[in-house]
Amino acid sequence: MATTSSPVNRPVAGALWMLLSGLAFVAVNGIVKYLGEALPSAEAAFLRYGLGLVFLIPMIRPMLAAKLSGRVLRLFAIRGGLHAVAVILWFFAMARIPIAEVTALNYLAPVCVTIGAGLFLGEKLAFRRIAAVLVALVGVMIVLRPGARTVEPGHIAMLCAAVLFAGSYLMAKKLSGTVGATVIVGMLSLTVTIGLIPFAIAHWVRPTWAEVGWLLTTAAFATVGHLAMTQAFRMAPVTVTQPVTFLQLLWATLLGALFFGERVDAFVLLGGGIIIAAIAFITWREAVLNRRGVTPVVNAPEL
């Protein structure tokens, strides 16, 4: 096995892996958008995660060997519940508002992580971080433009999803001091699948084989996306890989315009750009401060 390279020695490779990750997640967005409202959001989310359990087979051994305590299992259960609701809201939003708007509002999640790290993990919220958060919120208002247009249920759902995804990420940060990354990823998929069961059963619609196939494909693309992202983080520092994740807004805009006839909204691009600038600033500041125990700001889709 090749030895692990120093992250700063392979920035180009890290950027390319992150580019692949972003394209894989945009493919997930496109498939979910294509399926639209054919299936209830909770059922579609359950099938995506349930079918994706096949990709957890290599993780079974380390999960069993972890010998998780009751406290850790409770934390995993709480995280799974938060994440399950967030995923349902994400599927709901994706079927009802433009892909670019879902992507832009999803960038709010790492901003919420910054706030949550200060409130719940005891990290210092310096003035620069607070200012960046406020700038990001201005970006959100530009995307939504309340008063100038109708704020749809899909927008509200996506805002709530971003907050819940941030909560899930913060719990992963807490768990990372106890168990390894493989166990965290595997337990997330398992607990989310279990958490989605009651929601899916409540409004079950018999899916077609084509719909099952498409949702299995989303699980495959999501797995590729997470693996590519992990590889990117191994090869380059987050200050190199983070900007590449922002290209997802461009890919999402092009996907919506070319395949779904969605209008390219300059306000969405402007607001998304402002949110991205705020996240990039926070990331840069963490690098300057050598990331002294600071929770990294990573816009990592959790789908």
Q: 91-115 pLDDT, tens per residue?
A: 999 999 999 999 999 989 888 988 8
Residue whose entry in the numeric block shows the structure tokens 């461009």: 250
The answer to whether residue 2 sits within a structural domain is no
The answer to whether residue 294 sits within a structural domain is no
The answer to whether residue 3 sits within a structural domain is no
The answer to whether residue 41 sits within a structural domain is yes
Please state, in angstroms and as integers, the Cα–Cα distance from residue 160 to each residue in 21, 153, 223, following that order.
24, 11, 24
CB 87 within 8 A of CB 218: no
Q: What's the pTM?
A: 0.88
| Tokens describing residue 18 | 């992150």
Q: Measured in whole angstroms, how far is the alpha carbon of residue 78 from the centre of its chain?
A: 18
State the virtual CA torsion across 55, 61, 67, 69 in degrees, nearest 10: 0
| Tokens describing residue 111 | 């901003």
The interaxial angle of helices 238-245 and 209-235, nearest 10 deg, is: 150
The answer to whether residue 21 sits within a structural domain is yes
φ/ψ of residue 37, rounded to 5? -100, 20
- The helix (H) or strand (E) run that includes residue 242 is helix 238-245
Q: Whose CA is closest to 28, among 268, 227, 224, 261? A: 224
Cα–Cα dist 268/266, whole Å: 5
| Tokens describing residue 284 | 């840069």
Residue whose entry in the numeric block shows the structure tokens 């493989």: 182
CB 64 within 8 A of CB 231: no
The answer to whether residue 81 sits within a structural domain is yes
Structural domains of the chain, count: 1
Give pLDDT < 70 ranges for the chain.
1-9, 238-239, 286-302
**Per-residue pLDDT, 284:** 76
Residue ranges making up the domain that contains 260 = 9-288
| Contacts for 127 with CB less than 8 Å, ≥ 6 apart | none
Q: What is the pLDDT of residues 160-177, one digit of tens each?
A: 999 999 999 899 888 888
